[in-house]
Structure 1
Amino acid sequence: MAPPTRGRPRSFDRDAALDKALRLFWRQGYEATSISDLTGELGIGAPSLYAAFGDKKQLFDETVTAYGARYGGFAARALAEEPTARAAVARTLREAAIEYTIPGQPGGCMVISAGINTTNAEVAARLERMRNANVDAFEQRIRADMAAGTLPAQTNAAALARYVGTVMQGMSQSARDGADRAELLTVAELALRAWDEPAAGG
């Protein structure tokens, strides 16, 4: 029997391996994903994993960055491209319903779900910062619309932005729990009705 090889396979595709690791963390979360899980998923030995990506934490950090670039940027695009905060929120929630339920892809949002129950303070803090950054971006856009007169001056920008973030987190968990696209699109429309209620300005 030939001795096991210690290096990476000659056909090793780092980008494809990164995507496999990303999806594994997305499905299982940071805490529940072991080095053994990762090497099994990527089809390489532990030394090769460390050589290519560093330790588990370094690999996770890289997958989070890749997730934002490949899968999670729809809210930022909506905020950049839509003419109003309301239009950006509508697009974001509708696209969330679609993105969170793509067949063959883990359900929900990796940034929302991957840090659940983790004991790694750095991982938890990074994901928390990313979630809050999204809320802050919505708040800034809402405040810009208030300044432009598109939204009433008495609008509670912080609460309204947090509402959007809360709905997205709920949609993400619901997708992981088996909610289908049609259900989440209905949730998005109900959330938009709440946005349009006069109470949104309270």
Structure 2
Amino acid sequence: MDDAVDTALRLFHARGYDGVGVAELGAELGIKPPSFYAAFGSKAGLFQRALERYTASDANVFARAQAEGGGVAAVVDRTLALAAQLYPGRADGVAGCLVLDGTRNSADPEARALTAALKRASRAAIRDFIATEAPARADELADFLVIAMAGMSAAARDGADAATLASFAGMASQAFHHAFAAA
């Protein structure tokens, strides 16, 4: 089961939810459609498991940055730097963030709802963390970070390299520091 979720995660991350069909998933997993549906319930059920695996991994750049400790400014700097390192893609060529881009333009409302819930939870965690030091501007600063990360993910999927994203991350960090100091 773990290998099946890893395989699905890789496929969904590479091509997005709509870009991967049940027949292909079954073939990649070595199972027929009845067994696929018995194991996962639906394509969206497998996608949910893949998202859970993804968000519990090192791909969750905010959680990784926060785990290293420090104040808001340091954690935001690390979050942006980690995104700049991770989003351009690994050796397998998968770029961007599965949560941010996996259902972009998807026709499946269930899949979109899964990523939307994760985006809301992530924004809330970022907002709550920022509120520990800047409660009056926590919403605005959280939106800034979320939008910056979404842009970095989209740029990576469009081919932006690590150097380009690192440069952007540095500028975004400076802008965040400026806004944060005014909070």
- Do both share a fold (TM > 0.5)? yes
* Shift, 1:40, TM fit: 2.7
Q: Which amino acid aligns with 2:50?
A: T
The secondary structure found in structure 2 opposite 1:179 is coil
What is the aligned counterpart of 2:167 among 163, 186, 195? 186
Among candidates 136, 139, 150, match of residue 124 of structure 2? 136
**Alpha-carbon contact 1:78-1:92 (below 8 Å) kept:** yes
Is the contact made by 1:90 and 1:192 (CA closer than 8 Å) also made in structure 2?
Answer: yes
Runs of 4+ in 1 over 3 A off after TM superposition: 198-202
TM-score relative to the length of structure 1: 0.82
After alignment, is 169-178 or 93-102 more displaced? 93-102
Quote the residue 2:3 is aligned against: 16
Q: How many residue pairs are counted as aligned between the two chains?
A: 182
Residue 183 of structure 1 deviates from its aligned partner by 0.9
Q: Unmatched 5+ residue regions in structure 2?
A: none
- Correspondence 1:170 to 2:151: yes
Does residue 116 (structure 1) correspond to residue 104 (structure 2)? The answer is yes
Which secondary structure does the structure 2 equivalent of 1:117 belong to? coil
Counterpart position of 1:152: none
Q: 1:89/1:43 Cα in 2 relative to 1: closer, same or farther (>3 Å)?
A: same
Q: What's the offset of the Cα at 1:198?
A: 5.0
Question: For the residues of structure 2 that align with 1:71 and 1:185, how far apart are their CA atoms?
Answer: 18
Equivalent in the alignment of 2:52: 65
State which structure, 1 or 2, has the greater radius of gyration over its C-alpha atoms. Answer: 1
| Greater RCO structure (CA 8 Å; 6+ sep) | 2
Using the TM superposition, give the Cα deviation of residue 131 of structure 1 relative to its aligned residue in structure 2, in angstroms.
1.2
**Deviations 1:73-123 (Å, cap 9, x if unpaired)?**
231132243211111111111111111122215100000111112232232
What fraction of aligned residue pairs are identical, expressed as a percent?
A: 37
Does the 8 Å CA contact 2:134/2:180 hold for their aligned counterparts? no
